Structure 1
């Protein structure tokens, strides 16, 4: 299930139980069961250990299966123990998962392998991707994760709804007379939000870097995360310090992944190369300023041998 940690309704189970995800030992057991090849298994475990964000998603059995299927695909595609660029990132997983969903529109025989490349798939579904990403971004800005039927239907066709990125939320609050929609998982909304920031030509520096401000706590703002003045001023006063900001964090991770040089070949079919390079420069500039600001706040060593 994708809803670990939630209480099972008593109409289904008489005893009060909570759904639990994979523990670290469960994950190792499942990895051993899924990957029969010891070499491949070791590579996967090493990469999960090196990527805590990917590993945390694997605590959810459904997502673990999806991620492992992606690893299996990468391994078979390269026909060796070397995964692409020696690492598989969270962005790689979600790009592949999105590609699989987009290919649902292809009327092919189930026994026949789809020969359409990833570039062709994304390029042919450019309008759908933009519409989905626009909805995701609108929701992320408002911390909105359930959408009215009118908002969704105004942007997406019936065929787009059947791709599987969105699911209906029956009897949601005031929407009893009509369906409400949500993304399949919160991380998927984060992915599409980042995609919007990349492929929308109108997005400027302030909007591109907005969610980095959301991830920073008020105490760390002056010394670490927000060296840029207008980003610091963007924080609302009296913000709830206990509000979960994981969705902003994942959005930033996906933004970095999509703007990386490794993804330039794919992204240039959705937006101009000039726009990608410009936004990448903004992002690198922000990281540089953040690091410089952080270094200035560090305590200097008081050693005679050390020249400051």
Structure 2
């Protein structure tokens, strides 16, 4: 069952946690996908440097999508030497979104789409905002399935076929109407972050809401010192079926969308003043979080050092 699906415990015999690609599998697939050694090395370096991107690659389908995005980014450069570029999680999802939005373009099959990413997003601003409202509304309540009537409040029936949402059987209802879910939970996180970035009425408290959710759920403290009582408190491992990854990814996407690197694109969706204001809120939050973290660290009392 996917995340968010409620099933009666009486009919469940066993829970299985799908691990997907192992590290070895991922390296083997990388060698198979990227024939060029330079591209292969660059892709592996990108994954090693970005654990969040690497974790998504454990899902074979997502691995293929991410590698296709890598291939696209590398192919945009004419030079034989690949540039030292950093592909982020936000880059991947912006490109995926662009591809889906271009499905609305009625172009000749033999003719490639020539719209720029900026033009694609600017002309599809209303669609993006509608999807982001649905995603955010669900994320606030930890809902991952949406009734058809609920979806059609914000989104036209035509735009349902863009590929961001997919129909799923509604087992708990006698109605013939379908329920919908985002193609992947991470995609819902992306659109939730997009809502927080695009909606001008979002204040500092709402902007930081999912950071607070992560802080509340992640109660474990990390320490580099082998203290016995800390080990005893964490004797049981984390439950893989209960996590706040969707909140974590929402926060990552929010930082990416409001970053200076994405300002050129986002200013066509949001006023520059709003972007700068929200970016300032994030920077202030990170600054305070870092100060708080440093103060909470256990200090070694050594005579040789003054504290």
**Shorter-chain TM-score: what band?**
0.7 to 0.9
On the 8 A contact 1:101/1:165 being kept in 2, the answer is yes
**Kindly tell me: are residues 266 and 176 of structure 1, through their superposed partners in 2, closer, same or farther at Cα, counting changes over 3 Å?**
same
3-state DSSP class of the match of 2:166?
A: strand
Alpha-carbon shift at residue 181 of structure 1 (Å): 0.4
Alpha-carbon displacement from aligned partner over 1:208-259 (angstroms, at most 9, x marks no partner): 0000111124674999xxxxxxxxxxxxxxxx99732110010011011111
On the 8 A contact 1:170/1:176 being kept in 2, the answer is no
Alpha-carbon shift at residue 110 of structure 1 (Å): 2.2
The residue that corresponds to 1:161 in the other structure is 160
On the 8 A contact 1:149/1:180 being kept in 2, the answer is yes
Q: Which runs of 5+ in 2 are unaligned?
A: 3-15, 223-238
Distance 2:37 2:116 in 1: 30
3-state DSSP class of the match of 2:99?
A: helix
**Kindly tell me: are residues 171 and 299 of structure 1, through their superposed partners in 2, closer, same or farther at Cα, counting changes over 3 Å?**
closer
The residue that corresponds to 2:184 in the other structure is 185
3-state DSSP class of the match of 1:78?
A: coil
User: What aligned pairs does 1:144-155 form with structure 2 within 5 A after superposition?
Assistant: 144-155=143-154
Distance 1:64 1:76 in 2: 18
3-state DSSP class of the match of 1:162?
A: helix
Distance 1:278 1:221 in 2: 32
The residue that corresponds to 1:282 in the other structure is 281
Distance 1:256 1:56 in 2: 19
On the 8 A contact 1:21/1:61 being kept in 2, the answer is yes
3-state DSSP class of the match of 1:107?
A: coil
3-state DSSP class of the match of 1:86?
A: coil
The residue that corresponds to 1:104 in the other structure is 103
**Kindly tell me: are residues 272 and 91 of structure 1, through their superposed partners in 2, closer, same or farther at Cα, counting changes over 3 Å?**
same
Alpha-carbon displacement from aligned partner over 1:164-192 (angstroms, at most 9, x marks no partner): 00000123322642111000000000000
On the 8 A contact 1:22/1:60 being kept in 2, the answer is yes
Alpha-carbon shift at residue 121 of structure 1 (Å): 0.2
3-state DSSP class of the match of 1:154?
A: helix
The residue that corresponds to 1:216 in the other structure is 215
3-state DSSP class of the match of 1:143?
A: coil
Superposition RMSD on alpha carbons, in Å? Answer: 2.6
User: Aligned residue pairs: how many?
Assistant: 278
Distance 1:168 1:155 in 2: 16
Distance 2:218 2:163 in 1: 40
TM-score normalised to structure 2 length? 0.84
On the 8 A contact 1:94/1:191 being kept in 2, the answer is yes
On the 8 A contact 1:187/1:247 being kept in 2, the answer is yes
Alpha-carbon shift at residue 298 of structure 1 (Å): 2.3
3-state DSSP class of the match of 1:167?
A: strand
Alpha-carbon shift at residue 300 of structure 1 (Å): 3.8
**Kindly tell me: are residues 241 and 89 of structure 1, through their superposed partners in 2, closer, same or farther at Cα, counting changes over 3 Å?**
closer
3-state DSSP class of the match of 1:178?
A: coil
- Which has the bigger relative contact order, CA under 8 A and spacing at least 6? 2
Q: Which runs of 5+ in 1 are unaligned?
A: 4-16, 224-239
